[in-house]
A and B are shown apart, each in its own frame.
Chain A
Amino acid sequence: MSDIRKVVEIPINMGPAHPATHGVLRLRLKLEGEIVREVDPVIGYLHRGIEKLAESLTYPQFIPYTDRLDYAGSMLNNLGYVKAVEELLGIEVPERAEYLRVMTTELSRIASHLVWLSAWGLDLGAMAPFFYCFREREEILNIFEMLCGARITFSYMRIGGVSKDMPEGFADRLQNFLDIFPEKLSEYETILTENEIFLARTVGVGILPKEDAIDYGVTGPIARASGLEYDTRKIEPYSIYDRFDFRIPVEHGCDVYSRYLIRVEEMKQSMKIVQQALDKIPEGEIMAKVPKKIKPEPGRVYSRVEGSKGELGFLIISDGSDKPYRLRIRSPAYSNVAALPVMCENAKIADVVATVGSLDICLGEMDR
Chain B
Amino acid sequence: MMSGYMEIALITIVGILFPVIAFVASWLLRPSHPNDEKFTIYECGEIALGGDSRKNIGIQFYLFALIFVIFDVEAIFLYPWAVSFGGLGAFAFIEMMIFIGVLVAGYAYAWKIGALEWVGDA
Contacts and interface: CB of A to CB of B under 8 A. Distances in A.
A and B touch in the complex (CB under 8 A): yes
Contact of B49 (A4, A6, A11): A11
Contacts of B49: 11-13, 28
B50 A10 contact: yes
Given A10-B50, A35-B121, A4 B45 contact: no
Instruction: Give the interface size class of chain A.
Output: 20 to 34
Secondary structure of the B side of the interface?
loop
A15 B44 contact: yes
B45 A33 contact: no
Given A4-B56, A11-B49, A346 B43 contact: no
A34 interface: yes
A17 B43 CA distance: 8
A17 B45 contact: yes
Interface string A1-32: 01011111011111111100100001010011
A16 to B, nearest CB: 5
Interface stretch (B2-10, B57-65, B68-76, B84-92): B57-65
A8 B44 contact: no
B83 interface: no
Given A28-B49, A346-B121, A6 B56 contact: yes
Interface in B22-50: 43-46, 48-50
Contact of B43 (A2, A4, A13, A34): A13
Given A6-B56, A7-B56, A12-B49, A346 B44 contact: no
Contact of A35 (B46, B55, B120): B120
B58 A13 contact: no
Interface residues of B, number: 17
Contact of B122 (A4, A28, A346): A346
Nearest to A28: B49
A18 B50 contact: no
B57 to A, nearest CB: 6
Interface in A326-351: 345-346
A5 B50 CA distance: 19
A8 B46 contact: no
Contact of A33 (B48, B53, B59): B59
A33 B43 contact: no
Given A12-B49, A35-B120, A35-B121, A17 B44 contact: yes
Contact of A34 (B45, B55, B60): B60
Contacts of A5: 56
Nearest to A32: B58
Interface string B99-118: 00000000000000000000
Nearest to B45: A17
B46 A26 contact: yes
A228 B57 CA distance: 40
A35 B57 CA distance: 11
A2 B50 CA distance: 15
A33 B58 contact: yes
Given A7-B56, A7-B58, A12 B120 contact: no
Contacts of A2: 56
Given A10-B50, A11-B49, A35-B121, A26 B60 contact: no
Given A13-B44, A26-B44, A33 B57 contact: yes
16 contacts: A7-B56, A7-B57, A7-B58, A10-B50, A10-B53, A10-B55, A11-B50, A12-B49, A13-B48, A15-B45, A28-B49, A32-B120, A34-B60, A35-B121, A35-B122, A346-B122
The 5 closest A-B pairs by CB, nearest first: A33-B58, A17-B45, A11-B49, A7-B58, A11-B50
